[in-house]
Chains A and B, each alone.
Chain A
Amino acid sequence: EAGVAQSPRYKIIEKRQSVAFWCNPISGHATLYWYQQILGQGPKLLIQFQNNGVVDDSQLPKDRFSAERLKGVDSTLKIQPAKLEDSAVYLCASSPRTDGETQYFGPGTRLLVL
């Protein structure tokens, strides 16, 4: 079974620039999560999709972050404009369940904002 795929793996941008991350979940997984993992901390949920609908985006900074999951498969997370404090690893996870259990993580995208 192929795992969760993410790209790019690394990204360096200057503050105020825009950036986008892509996630391809495990085939057939209805639920997709985006997490932000700041160095030395645990993953923090940004947004959760079930199929192509948003279940939870309560911790997504909506003034600069946006995400979509068209057709209920791939997803993109965008930051516009980026701030220094957005430097982190952005993890995508998917699950065949809808209750938060059995999450499979991708390798993450490491973002550095200068």
Chain B
Amino acid sequence: GENVEQHPSTLSVQEGDSAVIKCTYSDSASNYFPWYKQELGKRPQLIIDIRSNVGEKKDQRIAVTLNKTAKHFSLHITETQPEDSAVYFCAARPQGAQKLVFGQGTRLTINP
């Protein structure tokens, strides 16, 4: 079955700098890749997603890139702010499946 690996497990950046979180997946036929943000004690919330027929997608300060050949996708946050501090989860949907397989999460800390 699908396996999603996420790196790094923790990331600390200075406010205003960029942050990048990377995920690799094992099933080359996976076709949908969302990113969720989970603030401390709160529910995971979808922040951006990308499908396999697209290489990059942007939404204000966040972007996601997909490299199907290498089977990895990344979350990019620019001009980081304190409110970006949270745990971020990537996920992948195997082709033909109706479910998501999640990565282990990255705890992002923005230092003022």
Interface set of A (CB-CB < 8 Å, partner B): 3-4, 31, 33, 40-45, 48, 50, 55-56, 91, 98-108
- Given A42-B6, A101-B49: A48 touches B98 (CB 8 Å cut-off): yes
Which one of B43, B93, B97, B103 contacts A91 once the chains associate, using CB atoms below 8 Å? B43
Tell whether A43 pairs with B102 under 8 Å between CB atoms, given A100-B32, A100-B97, A101-B93. Answer: yes
- Chain B residues 33 to 62 lying within 8 A of chain A, measured CB to CB, are 34, 36, 42-46, 49
Beyond A4-B43, A31-B98, A100-B93, 14 additional pairs, beta carbon < 8 A: A41-B104, A41-B105, A42-B91, A42-B103, A43-B89, A44-B102, A45-B100, A50-B98, A55-B99, A56-B99, A99-B93, A101-B32, A101-B93, A105-B44
Q: Are A40 and B105 in contact (CB under 8 A)?
A: yes
Nearest-CB distance from A6 to chain B (Å)? 9
Least CB distance from A79 to B in Å reads 21
What B residues does A106 contact at CB under 8 A? 43
The residue from A31, A42, A99, A102 contacting B105, defined by CB atoms under 8 A apart = A42
A51 CB to closest chain B CB (Å) equals: 13
Tell me the count of chain B residues lying within 8 A, CB to CB, of chain A: 23
Given A48-B98, A100-B93, A101-B49, the answer on whether A40 and B104 have CB atoms closer than 8 Å is yes
A106 to B38, CA, bound (A): 12
User: Which 9 residue pairs spanning A and B have beta carbons closest together?
Assistant: A42-B102, A105-B43, A105-B44, A100-B93, A100-B98, A107-B43, A43-B102, A42-B89, A100-B99
Q: Closest residue of chain A to B105, judged by CB? A: A42
Contact of B43 with A103 in the complex, beta carbons under 8 Å: no
Q: How far is the CA of A41 from the CA of B2 in the complex (A)?
A: 16
Known: A41-B105, A42-B104. A103 touches B46 (CB 8 A): yes
Q: Are A103 and B98 in contact (CB under 8 A)?
A: no
